[in-house]
Amino acid sequence: MTTADRRPRVLSGIQPTSDSFHLGNYLGALRQWVALQETADAFYCVVDLHAITVEHEPKALRERSRVSAAQLLALGLDPDRSTLFVQSQVPEHPMLEWILGCETGFGEASRMTQFKDKSAKQERTTVGLFTYPVLQAADILLYQTDRVPVGEDQRQHLELTRDLAIRFNGAYGRTFNVPEPFIVSETATIKDLTEPEKKMSKSSSGPRGCLYLLDTPNQMRKKIRSAVTDSGSEVRYDPESKAGVSNLLTIYSALTGTPVEKIESEYHGKGYGDFKGDLADLVADSLEPIAKTTKEYLADTAELDRILAKGAEKARSVASRTVAKAYKKVGFYPPVSM
């Protein structure tokens, strides 16, 4: 296969910091991960190393890593078409992070806005949280990644990654691909069901505002029916004055592929009750199979762990070559195979 024929390599990761992914994760990113398997050499990672930058319970973290992987498989990630692994099973991640950390200026790391935001919410701020973007850079550069699917909140971290790759290559000779951002078109941004001016998030949403993929169908229906709209009754997309119903229209459109304008026309003359009732059924019917398949994977943890171990071996076959190259460039002894 020539370089021109090679599929571009992409890498994405998600933290196992919750018992379930939420609808915003699915419609905003994870559904696109599945689609990228068709056109890219895709590496997908459950980033449990990143998850310990905040306080955690070890047993819960291990279980959440499994649940995260099971959900990704249930959503359609195919371990024969992509590489799915848990970050901590590939020790090359922290090995490369140390080298990149020694190339990162203190001022560069201090300017990362996510560190400022997250440290402001925590009583105890760790060095791990401070160097989080450097580990993220190692995640990306380990796999000679060509493209990184990013949202606006991660663009600054990708720029640091690019800067570090260019700096290292300039100092020691070409070692890393310099990755490009990959903005997925038509990605839905899902808002909180009770505070639609905020993005749906497990950390900021109340129990009714965040719709989880592993909620029961009744829980999903209840959350949709009780979602905030406004004092009117017209089903119309207007994020400024009708943020709640606009969010629900976005969800409906994203799940069905129907343009918002067509949905508006279908509910012309009808009230919120009809619209929310139909959407509640749509959400429950769309997500229930994901929850069911996730439970099937979790029912056989030995097989799930086998899939993840196989993915980690495949990831290490790439990551170990990159680390060996970087070690040689900086003057280290070569790492001993584990």
Other beta carbons within 10 Å of 13: 18
Q: Would residue 250 be called left, alpha or beta, if left means φ above 0 and alpha means ψ between -120 and 50 degrees?
A: alpha
Pair 193, 228: CB distance under 8 Å: yes
Residues pairing with 238 in the sheet: 242
Which of 59, 116, 191, 199 does the annotation list as catalytic? Answer: 199
One-letter amino acid for residue 317 of the chain: S
One-letter amino acid for residue 114 of the chain: Q
What DSSP character marks residue 82? Answer: E
Q: Count Cα neighbours of 280 within 13 Å in the Cβ-side half-sphere.
A: 18
Decide: helix, strand or coil at residue 206: coil
Which of 59, 116, 118, 276 does the annotation list as catalytic? Answer: 118
Which of 202, 314, 328, 329 does the annotation list as catalytic? Answer: 202
Active site residue 202: yes
Pair 176, 322: CB distance under 8 Å: yes
Active site residue 116: no
**How remote is the C-alpha of 292 from its chain's centroid?**
21
Active site residue 292: no
Which residues belong to the active site? 118, 199, 202
